[in-house]
Amino acid sequence: MPLAADVLTRIDSQVAAVRAQLVADRRDFHRYAETGWMEFRTASLIARRLADLGLDVAVGRDVVDEAGRMGLPDPQSLEAAWARALDQGGDPVFLDAVRGGFTGVVGSLHCGDGPCIGIRLDIDALDLQESDAPTHRPSLEGFASVNAGAAHACGHDGHAAVGLGLAQTLIGMRSALRGTVRLIFQPAEEGVRGAKAMVAAGVVEGVDALLGLHLYSGWPTGQVAPGKSNFLATSKFDALLTGAPAHAGGASHRGKNAMLAAATAVLNLHAIPRHADGATRINVGRLVAGQGRNVIPPTAYLALETRGGTSELNDYMVEAVHRVLRAAAAMYACDLEIRPMGEAHSAVSDPALVERIAATVRALPGLSLRDAAPGSGSEDLTTMMRRVQQQGGLASSIGLGADLGGFGHHTAEFDFDEAALPMAVRLLAVTVIDLQSHPWIDGAVP
């Protein structure tokens, strides 16, 4: 990171100015947690703030492809959540734009010629009831989620706040910038449902370098793992089997038993042979079949997912899953509908970009490098990374420790160390400016 000392000093001064706002924003998003495709209040307030700061803002259908959305809630739920967002102080203008489940926002800062640097920030909460234990800081300090069954238990509230703080910081550094910075606020990362629709809408077209930040509550605050990309490719499906009901006591031969089809599918899905080339996973997480006790079950619903060490391994599992489901349906003369509910790829961060970020981390006091632990999760940042790399651009994830010595991601007691928020803004601001000045970034995408 050969950034001039004065530039660094200016960045630090900007970051200091946003420090209190970062915490306030994070806690506001946390308090009004909104789950995937229903981040109406969150997205509208982000868009309002970016617009007020002077960024070019695109929102709603301009940045979210309607058909590309996966795992969308039903229309009633969407409308109820939208009405709630209006009640809870969403921005009325932008609420119109995101209505119906188009909750992506892109803010662009144009500074003349030069490369396009993309920063992806995910903003959705989880379907989870937040802890009300007095030892849980959000409860203690009054910013626990007021929305029942929705909680920011993965740090995306922090990501959203960092995005806003970064926008303000870069505005303050405008004279040191060139090219374009594009801040991409993505909905519905949980369930890996949202990135595909934003990519389909073109939000990463022309991006020379893409960065995706994630906070990790299990790492010491300030430790950074650039290029953490050991994500498993994954596909999420719902399967619906439809047979025919019949009275179990008197006419079972007239039924088409969807529960038996589902039971057969579940057993044989777990028996799909493992692939010798790497990790493969299958899970059927939910099964609901049948109606009354004395009725041949006419319907069955399965929620399942596959994973693979690479996208190819995941494809192998997906193909086998389809074959098993089709055959199980045919065995009981049932109809089958398979609905894609989410997907993410495997991805490899570009080594040159990773090394550049690592150099920055080494140069910045307060940060240190760590290795990313081998992981078993999935992340749809990879869908954006793939598209950027296909165009010739570079992409890297960045993990940042934000330890609160506490509970794991996706638990009711999750929290993180807010001291990481200004660290994240500083690291991203420095990295953006550093990357803008390098010829191998500029023009990476022809």
Question: Which residues bind to a copy of itself, rule: CB under 8 A?
Answer: 191, 232, 234, 236, 247-253, 255, 257, 259-260, 262-264, 266-268, 270-271, 273-277, 281, 283-297, 300, 303-305, 307, 316, 323-324, 326-328, 330-331, 333, 341, 375-378
Q: How far is the CB of 325 from a copy of itself (least distance, A)?
A: 9
**CA-to-CA dists, residue 156 to 10, 18, 161, 189, 242, angstroms:** 27, 18, 9, 9, 38
Least Å distance, CB 338 to a copy of itself, is 14
User: 317, 306 in Cβ contact below 8 A?
Assistant: yes
The nearer residue to a copy of itself, 13 or 252, going by C-beta atoms, is 252
Instruction: Say which amino acid occupies 242.
Output: T
Q: How far is the CB of 253 from a copy of itself (least distance, A)?
A: 4
Cβ closer to a copy of itself: 57 or 336?
336
Q: At closest approach, how far in Å is the CB of 152 from a copy of itself?
A: 17
| In the complex, minimum distance from the CB of residue 320 to a copy of itself, in angstroms, rounded to a whole number | 9
Rg (CA), the chain: 23
3-state secondary structure 331-357: HCCCEEEEEEEEEECCCCCCHHHHHHH
Q: Which is nearer to a copy of itself, 31 or 326 (CB)?
A: 326
Give the count of beta carbons closer than 10 Å to the beta carbon of residue 205: 14
Name the residue nearer to a copy of itself (CB basis): 78 or 304. Answer: 304
Question: Per residue in 229-261, is it b (16+ CB within 10 Å) or e — as a string?
Answer: bbbbbbbbbebbbbbbbbeeeeeeeebbbbbbb
Q: How far is the CB of 385 from a copy of itself (least distance, A)?
A: 19
Nearest to 185 by CA among 111, 108, 128, 114: 108
Between residues 220 and 292, which has the closer beta carbon with respect to a copy of itself? Answer: 292
Tell the smallest beta-carbon distance from residue 128 to a copy of itself (Å): 10
Instruction: Residue 191: name the closest of 296, 35, 302 by CA.
Output: 35
φ, ψ for residue 372, nearest 5 deg: -75, 130
For residue 111, give the 3-state DSSP assignment.
strand
Q: Residue 174 or residue 274: which is nearer to a copy of itself going by CB?
A: 274
Q: How far is the CB of 370 from a copy of itself (least distance, A)?
A: 19
Q: How many CA atoms lie within 13 A of 359 on its CB side?
A: 12
Burial 86-116 (b: 16+ CB within 10 A, else e): bebebbeebbebbbbbbbbbbbbbebeebbb
Cβ atoms within 10 A of the Cβ of 431, count? Answer: 27
209-216 and 368-369 strand pairing: unpaired
Supply the minimum distance, in Å, between the C-beta of residue 258 and a copy of itself.
Answer: 10
Nearer to a copy of itself, 221 or 378 (CB): 378
Cα 138 to Cα 439: distance, rounded to the nearest angstrom? 45
Of 258 and 353, the one with the shorter C-beta distance to a copy of itself is 258
209-216, strands of its sheet edge to edge: 56-59, 105-111, 179-186, 116-122, 209-216, 394-401, 223-226, 368-369
Q: Return the number of the residue (233 or 424) whose C-beta is nearest a copy of itself.
A: 233
Output the smallest distance, CB 271 to a copy of itself, in A: 4
Residue 277 or 335: which CB sits closer to a copy of itself?
277
* Unique residue bearing structure tokens 């009640």: 87
